[in-house]
Chains A and B, each alone.
Chain A
């Protein structure tokens, strides 16, 4: 029983990681007032870029750099459309999703001719599992040993990065000049403008942060969790992360717990696949998978306290009257 629990929690951590990175990515963008429906697309593009670069250059780090670069480029494209040209942020985000879905499949086929996949990556081309100190020695200690060596240890570096990013983001937003300005620009850009700070610059910085984190999430998907890129491998994670962001009311620490919850639901659904339960028969896997969305809808309907989005979200800043 304990071992089963550890296993589920272990896969919860793995499944939460991309959600958390993407969720925090969205947080930077949306707290600055730029709504980002295109998280899914940036995640997918990042995954493709990471796998392709890792396959060609043989290093997951080059893959990560490529993923971050491509994802930032897409984020800046979104920024160009919504910040500079004051376009509709939803439309631009949707466009980026389509662009990423189409381009990854097209380029994958053109470059590697494997039906949209990238070549399978060998161990040296992927992010391996890090073994934390004492993981081996403690493995046999009851309870604590299991938690340390199974649950905490043995993940790729991107997992630790993701879970470190939550407190780092909290600290950045709350304790730094950059964070103060970023939050202000999402609430009342006119106040930022009259304080002599460029609204556009702040928003571009924010979407660039968003792109970088999406890229890291993409690299995790294709070069840590899996060994290569598969067509549409993001599979809606960008949208679940968006739901988690709303669920967490745009705050970093709650975002981490929301992502863990949604990751847990996913892990439970996988674990329960085909398992017959007493009374209800086969496990309602689809229902469990739909829970993140259901919970978000319930929250949005105001049952768990109103989620107050950044006030200037979705509104291009226009100075002249």
Chain B
């Protein structure tokens, strides 16, 4: 039996307080396609970055073809025959395909000799693996699927025997994804080893020989693909978590406060992220959107909040259509938005708490004094918010970055709820929040529901969705896969989340 292409023993990596990889063991056989699945944040990308020399493991051992190796940088990884196709392409967009492929492997001080060789080599690779790309095309002008081919060509040109693909289908159309898998089959047929990282279980079942599951930084299982099922993988991936208990009475839904009709939206790369989403949220209910991160939930929240323009469809807040994508307008119509990423969108962490406590509402007459802010009233308002939401320490002057994650989140939540909105949309309300604060935040959301507000909750924490929601919608690949009630079986939800059971639309 030949030595495995890659063997990891006890690999461990932390970023400050975040323990991204814990004691990882992995064995990848030569000439196979090996899948690695896990939710976003499970540590897959970190692990692969360690293999590619982008990060250094704190502990543990890497063996390539049975030999123990050190991979201090990408150069070393390339020398060991490891190639990587990053999730965000590492391409120089104004360069041609040829220039991108040659970069770092120019074959001499002058480009001329090397470029003739690269051109010939590209033609050969195109024949052998069906990787056709025009070598003189400017990469920035190519569609995403072609750009990805350039990434694969870059790795092969450097003599990669082991190819790592990090979430390769995230940006591809289904058609392009099919082409990619055909290319991977070709690569395997030629004896290359492929490591495929994804959170899409269907791809794993369709394309791989073996699969390893990561959860919360640990490698929890490895299976031969033939011996496992989507159900088992979904369960391993999501894991059985301690169920959070939230005391709540039955919902008393009133009239529709938020309506999304056939909404479609694209991301910056032009990929359609919302593919016709329709939903309604009534006064006095919490509607939860479950799904693996990156399936359009963020875009949905942004569209409703007026941050992201829709390419089709409409949004109604309290019965009136949102005329244009304008967050201030959405707010005036009665919407409040707790963004998914408080650091990126919810807070200016360098500001003191009192400024963040009014951010976005700073034009309100009650904080103003002509063109000036009334600092006294701002301070007072901040103190009230901090008392009402038990923000610790209750110091309005403290720089927001110095609060714990939970208390930062309370500041955002307090600011948004305090205006007494009719509709609240909440993304990942308890991400990076300690247990005590989770409870407090959950209690708040239930109180708000009981006060007759309409709440749309997006979370990747299935338990949170189950604990809080009156109705659960499952989102996958920009579409709603179905509606279940709060008592729905976790495995059933997990399957919907991985795109199985399509056809039963909401």
Which residues of A are interface residues toward B (Cβ below 8 A)? 175-178, 180-181, 183-184, 187-188, 190-197, 311, 319-321
- CB atoms of A194 and B54 under 8 A apart: yes
Q: List 27 A-B contacts (CB under 8 A).
A: A175-B110, A175-B111, A175-B112, A177-B110, A180-B102, A180-B106, A181-B104, A183-B95, A187-B92, A187-B93, A188-B93, A190-B90, A191-B92, A191-B103, A192-B104, A193-B54, A194-B86, A195-B74, A195-B105, A195-B154, A196-B73, A196-B75, A196-B76, A196-B77, A197-B75, A197-B104, A311-B94
B82-108 with Cβ < 8 A to chain A: 84, 86, 90-95, 99-100, 102-106, 108
Q: Is B109 an interface residue (CB 8 A)?
A: yes
Contact B104 A196 (CB under 8 A): yes
- Mark contacts of B68-81 with chain A using CB atoms, 8 A cut-off: 1 yes-contact digit, 0 otherwise: 00000111111000
Tell me the smallest distance from the CB of B367 to a CB of chain A, in Å. Answer: 32
**Of B15, B84, B102, the contact of A321 (CB 8 Å cutoff):** B15
Q: Please give the number of chain B residues whose Cβ is less than 8 angstroms from any Cβ of chain A in the complex.
A: 32
Q: A183-B95, A184-B103 are in contact. Are A194 and B109 (CB under 8 A)?
A: no
Q: Report the tally of A-B residue pairs with Cβ distances under 8 A.
A: 74
Determine whether B52 belongs to the interface, using a CB cutoff of 8 Å to chain A. Answer: yes
Most buried by B among A175, A192, A195, A321: A195
Q: A176-B111, A187-B95 are in contact. Are A194 and B90 (CB under 8 A)?
A: yes
**Measuring CB to CB, which residues of chain B are less than 8 angstroms from any residue of chain A?**
15, 52, 54-55, 73-78, 84, 86, 90-95, 99-100, 102-106, 108-112, 114, 154
Could you tell me the distance between the alpha carbons of A319 and B90 in the complex, rounded to whole angstroms?
A: 13
Evaluate contact between B54 and A319: CB separation under 8 angstroms. Answer: yes
Which chain B residue has the least Cβ–Cβ distance from A174?
A: B111
Q: What CA separation (Å) do A137 and B15 show in the bound complex? A: 75
Interface SS of A by simple majority: helix
On whether the beta carbons of A177 and B111 are closer than 8 Å, the reply is yes
- Chain B residues, Cβ within 8 Å of A196: 73-78, 104
Give A193 to B93 CA distance when docked, in angstroms: 15
Contacts of B110 in A (CB 8 A): 175-177
B15 touches A180 (CB 8 A): no
Residues on B with C-beta less than 8 A from A188 are 90-93
Shortest distance in angstroms between B266's beta carbon and chain A's nearest beta carbon? 22
A139 to B496, CA, bound (A): 88
With known contacts A184-B95, A192-B104, A195-B104, A177–B90 Cβ distance under 8 A: no
* Closest B residue by C-beta to A178: B109
B15, B99, B111: most-surrounded residue (chain A CB, <10 A): B111
CA distance A231 to B114 in the complex (A): 50
Least distance between B21 CB and chain A CB atoms (Å) = 14
A192 to B86, CA, bound (A): 13
- How far is B15's CA from A319's CA once the two chains are assembled, in angstroms? 13
Q: How far is the CA of A190 from the CA of B100 in the complex (A)?
A: 13
